[in-house]
Structures are given as structure tokens and as C-alpha cells.
Copies of this chain bind each other. A is one copy, B any other.
């Protein structure tokens, strides 16, 4: 399947032309970003926590300490909404009303489940590490048995998924185009500065290429 099938809650009621169900388009957003906001319900109230994530095919993985409140709740298989948002620019229109933001976001609804299989867990941690810093896994000490046990990994299969994308210039009311007001887009993006060596790093160890020229895959540099 090259697209996700819209469901009631992934069908955009407002501005449906911004909706996107194409699998490749969704994956591109998920692969460029690395922080999601996970929503879940605790004591009938919503809770939203920022965390990083990894994608393997149609599955999203999040992880954390076994002590974290979110992951303790999720352990039993909990309904979540994982939202990933990239901000591309500020859209300045001639009227306050038509100001907007260029962005790309993905919402994934579903039930997250604990990963028990140690091999799948280790693979998820590998992809997780390499998703945030491509190439990092092969350089570092891998988790030992105790660390693996202390890390909960949760999987959310991507079935109910939608992306929402806004691009382009402001759209003003026709009569506002004559106003003497600057209008346009201020592009925004996340950039990396030069890496900062840890104070205890021996002087003969230089930052690797992935730290010296860090950029998100697919991101405009």
C-alpha cells in the first residue's frame, strides 16, 4: 500500500487540501524529525510528553527508563497519539487573520505495546540511536544486560496515520493586496553548531564527521 487509509479521526475536517496520506510523504517527515509529542490519558486526563523516537518500516518506537511515568502507563498497552511537527517558516499576511505557519506534521493514533523480545529491543535501540545521530551506534558501547532491562521500548504500529502540510506564501483577501504592508515568508530551520567536546575527552580524539556536519536527513541545509 502506498497510502494510509483515512479513518474518521485522521480525516481532516478543516482545510482538507492540507491532508496527506501518502506513505513516502509521511515517512519523510518522520525521518527528518526526531522529537515527537506523545499524548496518553492518565486518570481520565490528557498528558503530553516530548520524547525522541525511531521508525522501522511501519512501526514507531519510543523508549525510556523503566521508571518513567509515561512508559509505566504505556506498558499495559495504552492508547496514544504521537505527533511529530516540523516548523518550516512564518507566513506573514497583510491581515492579522491570515497569518499562518508553514509546517509539516504527522499524527499517529494507536495502541503502543511493550517490546519484550530482546533482539527486537536491541534493534530498536540501534535504529533509535542512528535516527538521532546517523552512524553513532557503531562507535559507542552498546547496552549491557542491565541497561537493556532498565530500558523500556514501546512499539506503535502505524495504521491510523495522517500528515498535514502547509507550504507557500500567505493567502490574503483580494482587497488586502493593495495595503502597503510587507508580506511574505520567514523561513526557519534547525541548525547545528560546531560540536562541543566533553571536558574529559582526551585531546587526540576529534569529533567524527556526523558531529562536525550534523544535519537532519532530507532537511534543507
Closest CB of chain B to A68's CB: distance in Å?
A: 5
**B186/A198 in contact, CB under 8 A:** no
Give how many A residues have a beta carbon under 8 Å from the other chain's beta carbons: 91
**B42/A41 in contact, CB under 8 A:** no
Contact with B along A132-154 (1 / 0, CB 8 A): 11001101111100010001000
B residues within 8 A CB of A139? 181-182
Q: Which among B9, B50, B69, B133 is the interface contact of A105 at CB below 8 angstroms?
A: B50
**B48/A81 in contact, CB under 8 A:** yes
**A81/B184 in contact, CB under 8 A:** no
Q: Does A30 contact B (CB under 8 A)?
A: no
Q: Does A115 contact B (CB under 8 A)?
A: no
Closest CB of chain B to A141's CB: distance in Å?
A: 4
Closest CB of chain B to A187's CB: distance in Å?
A: 4
Q: Does A37 contact B (CB under 8 A)?
A: yes
Residue positions of A touching B, CB distance < 8 A = 9, 13-14, 35, 37-50, 52, 65, 67-69, 79-83, 85, 87, 90, 92-97, 99, 101, 103, 105, 107, 109, 125-126, 129, 132-133, 136-137, 139-143, 147, 151, 169-170, 176-177, 179-202, 205-208, 211, 214
